[in-house]
Amino acid sequence: MAKQQFNKLIWLVDTIYRSGHITFAEINRRWRAGDSTRTDIPLRTFHNHRQAIEEMFDINVECDKHTNTYYIADAEGMLGDKLKMWLLNSFSLNSILQENIDMKNRIVFEEAPLGLQYMDIVIDAMRTGHVLHLEYQAYNWKCPKEVCLEPYFLKLFRHRWYLIGVNRTYDAFRSYSLDRIKSVRTGDEGFRFPRKFTPQDYFRNCFGIIRDETSEPQRTVLRAIAGQAPYLRNLPLHASQKEIVTTEDYADFELYISHTYDFVQELLSKGAAIEVLEPQSLRDVMKNEIEKMQKLY
């Protein structure tokens, strides 16, 4: 599909999704407003676009006969599909930037995740059920090592893509950052992906990319000062998070989560804006880390 056509589909999905319900006339008005050289989208072409959107993105654009408006079917369900929303938002942003290229020097981005050159071979091995042979260089290794991995899934965390799977040498799950892979090739050996396995369940009790088999999820209570509380409400640390106390000065949040290295580092990054109330064991960990930091200064 031509790039221009693809961008038009993305624009159409984004416009309808953000509008909730929108008439065909309003769609054309907004389309023309984006570029003085544009003309109206013919109705037949619009319906062809609807079909293409369903085939490409699995998104249904329906018509409300009572109001003669168009809307995204199951928009709330789409919000729960993280991959679909991530792709849609990424494509929408690309479309917006292309239309406002004169503003590129006034839009600042964070660094893009590295290791994308290995994505195709990794995903293909995941699809066909073949092991991968990685030449991998961890930060604490003096030289690269050969890793034979059954690739289960990919996860994006803190601007890095991680490949998670079963290391055949240890017969255990391991995580590998794509930006530390020196080379990768598909092996002849196959593996069977467990039918009942889901990545969401694997990281259900965790924050970040580290999963400690020995660390059971614990009831954890965090106290956030008034200025920090809105950030935790808007971007929860974990799916189990709920607000249990609200005052003018602070808010308390309850989570059931494993106290992994990533989670502790996240709490430390909040500084004095968050206090661990429970359990005492996590308070002790935080105290020890803060004492180490104090010695440095």
Q: For the residues 80-96, what does the mean pLDDT come to?
A: 66
Q: Is 58 within a domain?
A: yes
Q: Is 207 within a domain?
A: no
**pLDDT single digits (tens) 163-195:** 999 999 999 999 999 989 999 999 999 999 998
Out of 81, 106, 131, pick the residue that ends a domain: 106
Residue 124 sits in the same domain as residue 100: no
Give the pLDDT of residue 13.
82
Q: Which residue has the higher pLDDT, 102 or 181?
A: 181
Q: For the residues 48-59, what does the mean pLDDT come to?
A: 84
Q: Is 210 within a domain?
A: no
- Nearest in space to 163 (alpha carbons), one of 173, 104, 74: 173
Asked if residue 57 lies in contact with residue 91, where contact means CB atoms within 8 angstroms, the answer is no
Residue 186 sits in the same domain as residue 131: yes
Residue 192 sits in the same domain as residue 263: no
Phi, psi (rounded to 5 degrees) for 127: -70, -40
Give the pLDDT of residue 99.
64
Q: For the residues 262-281, what does the mean pLDDT come to?
A: 95
Q: Is 56 within a domain?
A: yes
Q: Is 211 within a domain?
A: no
Residue 101 sits in the same domain as residue 11: yes
Residue 75 sits in the same domain as residue 121: no
Residue 52 sits in the same domain as residue 137: no
Residue 91 sits in the same domain as residue 129: no
Q: How far apart are the C-alpha atoms of 232 and 237, rounded to whole Å?
A: 7
Residue 94: domain span: 3-106
Q: Check whether 278 has a pLDDT greater than 90.
A: yes
**pLDDT single digits (tens) 149-158:** 999 999 988 8
Q: Check whether 7 has a pLDDT greater than 80.
A: no
Residue 190 sits in the same domain as residue 231: no
**Could you tell me the pLDDT band of residue 15, with boundaries at 50, 70 and 90?**
confident
CATH number of the domain where residue 66 is located = 1.10.10
Q: Is 111 within a domain?
A: no
Residue 166 sits in the same domain as residue 255: no
Residue 102 sits in the same domain as residue 125: no
Residue 34 sits in the same domain as residue 69: yes
Q: Is 129 within a domain?
A: yes
Give the pLDDT of residue 10.
79
Query: Could you tell me the pTM of the whole model?
Result: 0.70
Out of 72, 106, 140, pick the residue that ends a domain: 106
What string of DSSP letters covers 10-45? HHHHHHHHHHSSB-HHHHHHHHHHT-TT--PPPHHH
Q: Check whether 1 has a pLDDT greater than 50.
A: no
CATH number of the domain where residue 128 is located = 2.30.30
Out of 55, 76, 106, pick the residue that ends a domain: 106
Residue 53 sits in the same domain as residue 72: yes
Q: Is 130 within a domain?
A: yes
Domain count along the chain: 3
Specify which residues 63 forms β-bridges with: 70
Is residue 101 classed exposed, middle or buried when 0-12, 13-18 and 19+ CB atoms within 10 A define those classes? exposed
Give the pLDDT of residue 160.
86
